[in-house]
């Protein structure tokens, strides 16, 4: 059958990684940008703190490299770190030329960027647009893209699975040749043929019950790549952000680390600044350390949350520097200028992902992965704050250059249509929701900030039976976005657990009571999972 759509480039995802890549390749051929909800809905859109980049004369590339390596706990690839850090200023300049405007310093006679500070950074180096950096970046990229005649946007379209020559029965020259995509509004599965498919589907925060991520973050890219035979790495390193707003009605709202960068102090219910004895950087220590200390404090005191206190700064300052956070807190009756903000940790960022080269190339020809979905070696065992937007910008640029220099490959004349079940039973559909909830709860309970082998094994066993149940639905029931996401969630959860079980040490974001020390007897190694 002739494919429903044929494009030179198919981009899955419309966050910073997908949009940057699409803009850069559009002059060389037609591009489809496929995105699950509306075009702006992405983790990118909610980024608050900003982009880490050396722009100040008081800062150096060496210091940014050193901070990144230190946070990454021995697992970063130093060449990758240096390359990305040093390329940052050029990519930031392009973003500014596109129309992105970063906050500037008040009271400065010359135009100077206002640089924020976050955990683990030894210098002020975070470029930001107040506390809505992501929304501004997303807006600038979408505006630029809307003007491009070669780009077609498919909103409310969810990619289901990659199409490879191997899956079509060819025994030679395996490569990715397209993707099956659900049109969520019509319920029809469409075939997109393409020489180059870019995974830019972001992370997997929704695998956990409590997360800073929006609903789109269900690990679809990692799951699709793994099913297509591509290895993934370091999935045990899930970063928990220390400070999500704690309020029964506040769904996934982050209180930026930049609040601590401006002097915010973490306190327990009795007012004690409990980070003081934990790390020299106190409340601004790297995230893994702060999240663990909060977890320990909550367990020790039996309280539901801890508090972030920035009441020593003026109301004017707070309203101007953090307008969105200030307004959101007020919506819930919290005036952050006079009372501390209740906070808890939540799953925030996937440091591992689809294994790629520093230009986003995967092991499968024709398949690229950029942004949170990919694992270049920048983050190691723990991402330094505000390095992810930087990585996505730099690697998307490199992927766009690399893809343009690829030798031409012949197209397949036809692709088989999608086949799936047609059953629709309202009772059974409720079970999908229950399974979804069970996965997220068990990941939170057994595969959280502090782990043990026993709990990980319990999670692995439960996930095995959930996998079997989900497979059953998958083949028999009509395809829906919920079902696509559930199938991906259960696979990604299993990858996280398997990676965690394979690491017999504590390192960075992976902390287990059974192996509380970092193994120094051998060089640190990635945990790579290869599909069987
Ligand atoms: P995303 O921006 O998440 O985009 C993924 C896209 O893929 C979305 O459009 C989604 O709809 C689409 N998609 C997913 N699955 C499918 C599918 N099956 N089919 C079709 N489309 C699909 N990082 C920083 O560096 N600095 C910060 O200040 C910062 N703050 C953050 C604050 C919050 C609240 C959160 C959640 C994250 C923050 N991060 C920050 C992390 C950073 O925002 C993300 O890592 C980054 O934006 C990821 O970009 P991306 O393009 O890879 O993916
Ligand atoms: C934040 O603003 O705290 C998030 C920054 C990040 O995740 O890098």
What is the model's pLDDT at position 426? 65
pLDDT band at 313 (very low <50, low <70, confident <90, very high): very high
Q: 299 with 360, same domain?
A: no
pLDDT band at 472 (very low <50, low <70, confident <90, very high): confident
Q: What is the Å distance from ligand 2's center to 48 Cα? A: 6
What is the model's pLDDT at position 474? 82
Of 387, 404, 421, the position where a domain reaches its end is 404
The average confidence (pLDDT) of the chain is 95
Count of CA atoms in the C-beta half-sphere (13 A) of 112? 13
Q: 63 with 208, same domain?
A: yes
The atom of ligand 1 lying closest to the CA of 348 is: 36
Q: 85 with 218, same domain?
A: yes
Report the CATH number that the domain containing residue 440 is assigned in CATH. Answer: 1.20.58.100
Q: 82 with 200, same domain?
A: yes
Q: Is 43 in the pocket of ligand 2 (CB under 6 A)?
A: no
Nearest residue to 103 (alpha-carbon basis) of 121, 120, 122, 126: 126
Q: Is 429 helix (H, G, I), strand (E, B) or coil?
A: helix
Q: Is residue 290 part of a domain?
A: yes
Residue 303: pLDDT above 80? yes
Residue 478: pLDDT above 90? no
Residue 476: pLDDT above 90? no
User: What average pLDDT score do residues 465-485 get?
Assistant: 90
Under 8 Å CB-to-CB from 246, ≥6 apart: which residues?
304, 305, 342, 343, 344
Q: 363 with 283, same domain?
A: no
For residue 10, which phi and psi values (nearest 5 degrees)? -115, 125
Q: Is residue 209 part of a domain?
A: yes
Q: Is residue 530 part of a domain?
A: no
In this structure, the number of other CB atoms found within 10 A of the CB of residue 289 comes to 20
What is the model's pLDDT at position 147? 86
The CA radius of gyration of the chain, in Å to the nearest whole number, is: 22
Q: 438 with 504, same domain?
A: yes
Closest ligand to Cα 45: 1
Report the CATH number that the domain containing residue 325 is assigned in CATH. Answer: 3.90.700.10
- Summarize pLDDT for 320-354 with one digit per residue, the tens: 999 999 999 999 999 999 999 999 999 999 999 99
Q: Which ranges of 175-252 does DSSP label H, i.e. alpha helix? A: 220-227
pLDDT band at 374 (very low <50, low <70, confident <90, very high): very high
- Euclidean distance between CA atoms 387 and 247, whole angstroms: 28
- Euclidean distance between CA atoms 197 and 175, whole angstroms: 10
Residue nearest to atom 6 of ligand 1 (CA): 13
Q: Is residue 387 part of a domain?
A: yes
Residue 367: pLDDT above 90? yes
User: What average pLDDT score do residues 148-162 get?
Assistant: 97
Q: 228 with 368, same domain?
A: yes
Q: What is the Å distance from ligand 2's center to 321 Cα? A: 15
Q: Is residue 468 part of a domain?
A: yes
User: What average pLDDT score do residues 35-64 get?
Assistant: 98
Q: Is residue 424 part of a domain?
A: no
Of 363, 387, 404, the position where a domain reaches its end is 404
Nearest residue to 199 (alpha-carbon basis) of 11, 399, 398: 11
Q: 357 with 212, same domain?
A: yes
Q: 461 with 390, same domain?
A: no
Is 287 marked active-site? yes
The total number of structural domains in the chain stands at 3
Q: 223 with 252, same domain?
A: no
The atom of ligand 2 lying closest to the CA of 257 is: 3
Q: Is residue 397 part of a domain?
A: yes
- Summarize pLDDT for 69-118 with one digit per residue, the tens: 999 999 999 999 999 999 999 999 999 999 999 999 977 677 889 999 99
Q: What is the Å distance from ligand 1's center to 51 Cα? A: 14
Q: Is residue 127 part of a domain?
A: yes
Residue 397: pLDDT above 70? yes
- Summarize pLDDT for 209-244 with one digit per residue, the tens: 999 999 999 999 999 999 999 999 999 999 999 999
What is the model's pLDDT at position 305? 96
Report the CATH number that the domain containing residue 390 is assigned in CATH. Answer: 3.50.50.60
Q: What is the Å distance from ligand 2's center to 257 Cα? A: 6
Count of CA atoms in the C-beta half-sphere (13 A) of 267? 14
Q: 26 with 76, same domain?
A: yes
Residue 2: pLDDT above 90? no
- Summarize pLDDT for 10-45 with one digit per residue, the tens: 999 999 999 999 999 999 999 999 999 999 999 999
Q: Is 48 in the pocket of ligand 2 (CB under 6 A)?
A: yes
Buried b (16+ CB within 10 A) or exposed e, 439-450: bbebbbebbbbe
pLDDT band at 459 (very low <50, low <70, confident <90, very high): very high
Q: Is 495 in the pocket of ligand 1 (CB under 6 A)?
A: no
User: What average pLDDT score do residues 355-379 get?
Assistant: 98
Closest ligand to Cα 347: 1
What is the model's pLDDT at position 342? 98
Which residue range is the domain that position 287 belongs to?
A: 245-346
Of 346, 376, 393, the position where a domain reaches its end is 346
Q: 288 with 266, same domain?
A: yes
Q: What is the pTM of this model?
A: 0.97
Q: Is 386 in the pocket of ligand 2 (CB under 6 A)?
A: yes
């Amino acid at each position: 059958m002739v494919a429903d759509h044929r494009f030179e480039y198919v981009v899955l995802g419309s966050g910073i990684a997908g949009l940057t890549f699409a803009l850069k390749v559009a002059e060389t051929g037609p591009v489809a940008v496929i995105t699950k909800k509306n075009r702006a809905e992405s983790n990118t859109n909610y980024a608050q703190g900003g982009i880490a980049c050396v722009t100040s004369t008081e800062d150096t590339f060496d210091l940014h490299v050193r901070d990144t390596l230190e946070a990454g706990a021995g697992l970063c690839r130093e060449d990758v770190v240096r390359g990305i850090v040093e390329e940052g200023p050029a990519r930031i300049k392009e973003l500014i030329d596109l129309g992105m405007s970063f906050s500037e310093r008040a009271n400065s006679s010359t135009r100077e960027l206002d640089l924020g500070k976050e955990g683990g950074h030894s210098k002020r180096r975070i470029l930001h647009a107040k506390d809505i950096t992501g929304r501004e970046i997303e807006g600038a990229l979408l505006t630029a893209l809307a003007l491009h005649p070669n780009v077609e946007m498919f909103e409310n379209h969810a990619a289901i699975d990659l199409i490879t020559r191997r899956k079509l029965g060819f025994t030679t020259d395996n490569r990715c040749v397209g993707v099956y995509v659900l049109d969520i509004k019509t319920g029809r599965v469409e075939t997109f043929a393409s020489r180059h498919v870019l995974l830019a589907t972001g992370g997997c925060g929704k695998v956990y019950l409590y997360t800073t991520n929006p609903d789109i973050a269900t690990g679809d890219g990692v799951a699709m790549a793994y099913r297509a035979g591509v290895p993934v790495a370091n999935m045990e390193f899930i970063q928990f952000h220390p400070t999500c707003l704690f309020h029964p009605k506040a769904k996934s709202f982050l209180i930026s680390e930049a609040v601590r960068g401006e002097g915010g102090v973490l306190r327990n219910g009795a007012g004690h600044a409990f980070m003081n004895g934990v790390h020299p950087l106190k409340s601004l220590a790297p995230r893994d350390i702060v999240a663990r200390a909060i977890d320990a404090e909550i367990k020790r005191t039996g309280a539901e949350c801890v508090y972030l206190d920035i009441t020593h700064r003026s109301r004017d300052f707070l309203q101007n520097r953090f307008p969105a956070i200030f307004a959101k807190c007020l919506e819930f009756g919290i005036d952050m200028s006079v009372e501390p903000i209740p906070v808890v940790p939540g799953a925030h960022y996937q440091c591992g992902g689809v294994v790629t080269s520093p230009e986003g190339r995967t092991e499968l020809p024709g398949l690229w992965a950029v942004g949170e979905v990919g694992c270049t070696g920048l983050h190691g065992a723990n991402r330094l704050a505000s390095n992810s937007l930087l990585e996505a910008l730099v690697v998307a640029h490199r992927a766009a250059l690399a893809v343009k220099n690829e030798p031409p490959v012949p197209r397949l004349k036809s692709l088989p249509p999608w086949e799936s079940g047609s059953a629709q039973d309202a009772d059974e559909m409720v079970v999908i929701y229950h399974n979804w909830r069970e996965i997220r709860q068990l990941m939170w309970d057994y595969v959280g900030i502090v782990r043990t082998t026993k709990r990980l094994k319990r999670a692995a066993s439960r996930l095995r039976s959930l996998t079997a149940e989900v497979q059953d639905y998958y083949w028999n029931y009509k395809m829906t976005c919920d079902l696509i996401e559930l199938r991906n969630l259960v696979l990604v959860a299993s990858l996280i657990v398997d990676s965690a079980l394979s690491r017999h040490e504590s390192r960075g974001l992976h902390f287990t009571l059974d192996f509380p020390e970092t193994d120094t007897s051998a060089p640190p190694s990635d945990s790579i999972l290869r599909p069987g």
